[in-house]
Structure 1
Amino acid sequence: MKKANKYSDELKEKIIRECQEIDNVAVVARRYEISPNTIHTWVKKYRERGTAKTLKKNGFKDINTMAEQLKKVSTENDQLKRLVAEKELELSILRELRDKTNPR
């Protein structure tokens, strides 16, 4: 059985913005009669995902897939950076050799 969300996504966003403006979670929690721990959890999710909206059931799979893709792209990016650095070094060496054998 699915647990219903007690708080709407709009309310969560509003409370997070208010916490950022006031910079005091305890005051906001008392005002809305919500546990400060709950608000801290929303803020943490907001920082991690950029939103406090509730994920769909397959949302975690999507996040894991995106994390894997990010890791793969980061690895590929690192390899490409190394390859470009090697090519730059080769070009530099070839230019030096050219200049030594053919002085201007």
Structure 2
Amino acid sequence: MKKKRYDQEFKEQVVRECQEVGNIALVARRHGLSKNTVYNWLQATRKNGSVIPLPRDVNQRLLEAENRLESLARENDQLKRLVAEKELELAILRELRDRVNPQ
């Protein structure tokens, strides 16, 4: 039996969908995949931070890991800013709600 190869973009899309939906079997069925295949992709994502495997060469592996770490740090900063904005909005709304006579 010949193994079917999927491109990295498709794997990342399926993994993102699994994380959003929360049901591996449903997503696998929707894309015509084995749930074990999707589960393996999820495990690889949890282990490496991505479905894309790290290179075998040590120097390239370190460079790729640094790039992924920088990317995650940027994403983390963006998410922190979003949370801060939402917290500010909530604080303003709570203050308006608690006023005796808001006008």
- TM-score (normalizing by structure 2): 0.50
- TM-score (normalizing by structure 1): 0.49
Instruction: Identify the structure with bigger relative contact order (alpha carbons < 8 Å, sequence gap 6+).
Output: 1
